[in-house]
Structure 1
Amino acid sequence: MATSTTKRAPWDEKPYGLDDPCDATPEEARRGVVHLAIVAAVFVVIALATYLVPLDAMHALRPWEPGEDVPIARLYGREAGEVSGTAIATGGASAGGPQQGALDDSVLANLEDEEDDAPPPEVEPTDPAQRATGVRIDPSELEGLAREIEDPNGTAMRAFYDALHRTASREPGAITRVAHYGDSSIALDGITQTVRERMQHRFGDAGHGFVLAARGSMPYRHRGIRHESSDAWRLMDITHLPLSDGHYGYGGYQARSISGATAEFGTVEEGPVGTAASRFEVLYERHPRGGRFEIRVDGGEPQLVDTRGEPVTDDVHRVVMPDGQHEITIRTVGHGESHLYGVVLERDGPGVVYDSLGMVGARARRFLGFDRAHLARQLEQRATNLVVIGYGGNDADDDRDEAQFEEDFRQVARLVRQARPEASCLLFAPLDQAERDERGRIRTLETVPMIVSAMRRAAQAEGCAFFDTWSAMGGEGGMERWFRSRPRLAFGDFRHATPAGYRVIGNMLYKALLKGFSDYLTRR
């Protein structure tokens, strides 16, 4: 008699030969629960041990420390918002309390504050002093002011405000010139472009100012112009200090070539400012082995410049043309080595010129590599009214104490004051600098508040003004909040801002300068 068997369906098979948990006896289920409890208890003991053992290495193993999000709950808070793209760049409170990572109100006020094409508000000044001079700053122009320029004696910025008053009064040819030195945050021209455009829109466009002759592989930009250079230039930069005589040029870079190197500069067709020029200036070094270079303006006939001569000194070749859109091409043609510092694009005033002079990778003390007489000639040739010193970002990596940082900034400020006593001096604090700790948290470097404090004291001691960029960003933890914000205001290296972040800082600095000028008008 045949025996019939029923074949099991695949989904009826016990996976990997294991018994179905639902078939477990009460005794087996009890043993499973006990086993799970033992495993959980072991994990709890290990976690508690990380708090009881007094070793620094245990901090990285602890599941939670004060100031951190509650474990598990963080999945539903800030981190979840980041993954889903939820905007957290808004202030105020939510149902769960203040928004973690929210930006300061002063940052938010400058986030989207970009200058439009409207002229300054035509409102009758209420301040008698401003009404008497015919120049006024309307209070609406200062909305969103984050930090003021610190100038306790009211004298450090006087030369700059005097020049700006002549420009604002529309005196013929009155040009106010600013030289803003700094590290890579300045070399990217995000902060300086914002201040340049807003100052020129407010007080008059006198041109783009100074641009390096060549940039090589550096992340250097001057926004709003056309600038190209060939690879045939050798750059001698103040960051690495290769020159014994300290002749690095106005921007801290000397471009050298014997023959065949080219550089092109030109105005752009569209933009809020900077679409015209009426004067090109080529800044170069004259020396005994100097070579020749030729200049063509708008593709015209070449002008030959011979840089040979002695003693070694600085010189400039000027080309004047009708105000409008222009381009200039430079090519070295041999007979020696040409040493170029840069090219200036300007217009007749009244107006403002804001030179962006970023030195990639530089620390403050690298500025001391300038020969003082050479720096004095460069600043005099540019007729600079305000020198801004914006280092500290790279210095934050150094293992030094506050007194050493202060001495560096004092020496730099002293060098500037001696080289250009006719100009105002402003120390510009670094952005917040941060890194991830052993637990992955983004933390401000301990050296940053030391540098800010040292820079403030150095400014007061040497007769300079001070702008606290770090506090304007939000101080401690500012870089983390900027990194987590939407739109993102800082990059993941926790050292540099995004273009949007640099615009925020530029807006803050512009309003601080405007507030200082308004106070100057009142005192005047």
Structure 2
Amino acid sequence: MNKMPGKNKAAYPFLIIAGSLACLVALSQLNISFSFKDFQFRKLDMLSDLRTSSPEDHTNRPALAGKTGDGRPSAADSTVTVKDSTGAVTVLPNPDAHHDFMSYTGIMQYASAQYGEDAAGMNAFFHALAELKAGKRKKVRIAYFGDSMIEGDLITGDLRDSLQQFFGGQGVGFVPITSVVASFRTTITHTFSKDWKDYNYKNSPPSSIGLGLSGHTFIPGSASWARFAPVKKPRLDKFDEISILFGPTVGTGVTVNDKGYTLSGNEEVNRMDLRQDTGQQTVTIKYANGTASPFYGVCFETDNGVYVDNYSFRGISGVELGHLSADMVRRMQQERHYDLVVLHYGANVLWRPELTDYSWYQRPMKKVMDSLRNDFPATSFLIIGTADKSYKKGDHYVTAPGVEALLSVQHDLAAEHGTAYWNLYAAMGGEGSMVKWVESDTPSANKDYTHFNRLGASKVASMLYKAIMDEYRQKNNIQ
């Protein structure tokens, strides 16, 4: 059979390959990306294997202070210029230029051009601690926000105890009027009547009632009461200074250990201070008469030292803090000044273990951070990166892919807002650490491979205390 002229079949494979390559090159010039479920299609880079980093790393991702577009250290961005309250310009270091945030187990501090030098990292907090130690001030307070990881005063109880051993102080700090974990808490004995109406993040109050800083507001019934008693532990075995925090009222009658008082105040947060009689330790607060006004909680302190207030709320991600009114937060800061705000969330964000895109969380959380930074203008902030969380894959448990993705988001929030950052996941031991904590001979976490038990919570508190004290000593040149 004769071959037709001009048809060289031997060239077909070459033409197919050349055509396919031409199509790929053409596609590589389109600056588009899209995703299907958890798989991400991105712009093709034909020379990616020859580069130290792809063009996408530097053009499509926003670079935050002290880090490259891929979230890793950059010596070129190792400083940031900020102004203090007097307008003086200062160039501050960003430690991320020297540390990998995904593996570093110490506290990383950031400065942001949007906030002053005094509010950078934990500067204000460490300054307050130094003044407390030197006798130049009486109290330093920490507001520690979190989810079920800290309920029942887990982590915060041990952290408070360690700080009070070193800096002084006695008392558990803020306690809400009622609590779903009151029977579980070991740092105070707390009982209450069942007729309090609890408005909270998950049970929105009417427009006339705002939420307290704990995310709860309590309205008394006709026979409502709450009782508090100290426990037989160092620094928790007696009450000294007692403060009742409540909302606006035109006259609410209460009794405290059968002695009558009238609450008054038209601010979002009001405070009535009492001093406990040395002969009577239990404090019983009863609603007596008048307007059934909002109650927030009771605080227990002495006249000096460090106080850590536990603001736990089960099942939330931290985004819910955006429901707090600016007026309430600012008024709370006037009545009960905080030198450090800790944000410890993550377990409820990792609801789908294999999810790795947390932009849906980062956007609203950025707004929360913006608001909190404005409402606590001179306060230090510490964002705690999520703990390890494992899920069953096949016949064994492994670290959820979303853990490191969420850590990156939390780190970015810290860097962007000039706060401090501590990676709990790295401190635990990184990948696979939750499995070890659960399955060790002496377990430190529960079989849900998410929550710490009391031993584990104490270990976390010890690691956090060490990280804080390492920075404090370095900041103040203490050996």
Conservation of the 8 A alpha-carbon contact between 2:356 and 2:406: no
Conservation of the 8 A alpha-carbon contact between 1:397 and 1:447: no
Conservation of the 8 A alpha-carbon contact between 1:187 and 1:219: no
Structure 1: tracts of 5 or more residues without a match: 1-145
Which residue is equivalent to 1:164? 129
Alignment-mate amino acid for residue 149 of structure 1: I
Which residue is equivalent to 1:462? 417
Question: Could you give the per-residue CA deviations for residues 436-475 of structure 1, whole angstroms, max 9, x where no partner exists?
Answer: 23x2321222222111110001001011111111111122
User: d(CA) in 1 for partners of 2:164 and 2:410?
Assistant: 29
SS of residue paired to 1:214: coil
User: d(CA) in 2 for partners of 1:514 and 1:324?
Assistant: 37
User: d(CA) in 1 for partners of 2:182 and 2:228?
Assistant: 17
**Higher RCO (C-alpha 8 Å, min separation 6):** 1
Conservation of the 8 A alpha-carbon contact between 2:399 and 2:432: yes
Which residue is equivalent to 2:381? 425
For residues 367-406 of structure 1, the aligned pairs below 5 Å read 367-397=321-351, 401-406=357-362
Equivalent in 136, 142, 156 of residue 192 of structure 1: 156
RMSD (Å) for aligned C-alpha atoms: 2.4
SS of residue paired to 2:293: strand
Conservation of the 8 A alpha-carbon contact between 1:258 and 1:333: no
TM-score by length of 2: 0.71
Change (3 A) 1:220 1:238: farther
SS of residue paired to 1:366: helix
Which residue is equivalent to 1:177? 141
Which residue is equivalent to 1:362? 316
Conservation of the 8 A alpha-carbon contact between 2:356 and 2:401: no
Report the Cα offset of residue 513 of structure 1.
0.6
Change (3 A) 1:442 1:246: farther
Conservation of the 8 A alpha-carbon contact between 1:239 and 1:362: no
Conservation of the 8 A alpha-carbon contact between 1:250 and 1:379: no
User: d(CA) in 2 for partners of 1:467 and 1:247?
Assistant: 32
Equivalent in 245, 250, 253 of residue 213 of structure 2: 250
Which residue is equivalent to 1:292? 253
Which residue is equivalent to 1:487? 442
Question: Could you give the per-residue CA deviations for residues 211-263 of structure 1, whole angstroms, max 9, x where no partner exists?
Answer: 01111x34785532221112111211224444546722122211111311111
TM-score by length of 1: 0.66
Question: Could you give the per-residue CA deviations for residues 138-191 of structure 1, whole angstroms, max 9, x where no partner exists?
Answer: xxxxxxxx82111044931011011101111133x5211101000011113121
Equivalent in 196, 215, 220 of residue 233 of structure 1: 196
Report the Cα offset of residue 273 of structure 1.
1.9
SS of residue paired to 1:502: helix
Which residue is equivalent to 1:347? 302
Structure 2: tracts of 5 or more residues without a match: 1-103, 112-116
Greater helix content:
1
Q: How many residues align?
A: 367
User: d(CA) in 1 for partners of 2:433 and 2:109?
Assistant: 24
> Once the two structures are aligned, what percentage of the paired residues are identical?
25
Q: Is 1:224 the counterpart of 2:187 in the alignment?
A: yes
SS of residue paired to 1:313: coil
SS of residue paired to 2:449: coil
Alignment-mate amino acid for residue 293 of structure 1: V
SS of residue paired to 2:369: helix
User: d(CA) in 1 for partners of 2:230 and 2:199?
Assistant: 27
Change (3 A) 1:236 1:353: same
Alignment-mate amino acid for residue 295 of structure 1: V
Change (3 A) 1:406 1:523: farther
Change (3 A) 1:465 1:433: same
Question: Could you give the per-residue CA deviations for residues 368-403 of structure 1, whole angstroms, max 9, x where no partner exists?
Answer: 111111112113311110000111110111567233
Equivalent in 433, 458, 469 of residue 503 of structure 1: 458
Alignment-mate amino acid for residue 411 of structure 2: R
Compare CA radii of gyration and give the structure with the larger one.
Answer: 1
Equivalent in 168, 171, 191 of residue 207 of structure 1: 171
Which residue is equivalent to 2:65? none
Which residue is equivalent to 2:240? 278
Which residue is equivalent to 2:364? 408
Change (3 A) 1:198 1:239: farther
User: d(CA) in 1 for partners of 2:326 and 2:475?
Assistant: 31
Q: Is 1:305 the counterpart of 2:262 in the alignment?
A: yes
Alignment-mate amino acid for residue 280 of structure 1: I
Alignment-mate amino acid for residue 168 of structure 1: K
Conservation of the 8 A alpha-carbon contact between 2:388 and 2:425: yes
Conservation of the 8 A alpha-carbon contact between 2:110 and 2:419: no
Conservation of the 8 A alpha-carbon contact between 2:387 and 2:424: yes
SS of residue paired to 2:477: helix
User: d(CA) in 1 for partners of 2:202 and 2:477?
Assistant: 42
SS of residue paired to 2:330: helix
User: d(CA) in 1 for partners of 2:427 and 2:385?
Assistant: 10
Conservation of the 8 A alpha-carbon contact between 2:253 and 2:263: yes
Report the Cα offset of residue 340 of structure 1.
0.9
Equivalent in 302, 318, 321 of residue 273 of structure 2: 318
